[in-house]
Amino acid sequence: MTAGLGVSIYLTIAHYGSSAILICSEKGLVNCAAVTTSPESMVFGIFPVAVLGLAFYVLMAAITSPWAWRATWPVVRWVRLGSVAVGMVFVLYLIFTELITLNAICLWCTSVHVITFLLFGLIVFSAAAGYGLPETASRR
């Protein structure tokens, strides 16, 4: 999870600085600059996807902290599950955009996608095992 936060910070810095700092190929299918500077790298043309990823990982750092896992407040558990589900849907959209629209893949972005998928698996598994959802009256 902290790796996702770190890569999101790096991509945000690259977005506002220069895509030249991205250590990634710029030829063929793997082309970080083509992905991170494309019109699709902005949400509604005004909000960078990298910043959205950074905000997602800041939220996930808070709601997946040891304190949050021990919290008995149901809202924390539902926000964790809902946030990672929305994050995973957005990741699938971004992968589609990279492969179909841009015909280019950013390795840094792909690392965030993989980390989000792993986080999704962890949270959904813990919820299915009863660790991530609030107790109901029948389970007490």
Mean pLDDT, each 10-residue run in order, the chain (140 residues): 91 84 81 90 90 96 91 89 96 96 94 97 89 52
Predicted local distance difference test score (pLDDT) of residue 19: 67
CA distances (Å), origin 91, targets 44, 50, 120, 138: 17, 12, 11, 35
CA distances (Å), origin 90, targets 28, 45, 96, 127: 24, 16, 10, 20
Q: Model's pTM, two decimal places?
A: 0.85
CATH code of 2-132, in short, is 1.20.1440
Predicted local distance difference test score (pLDDT) of residue 18: 77
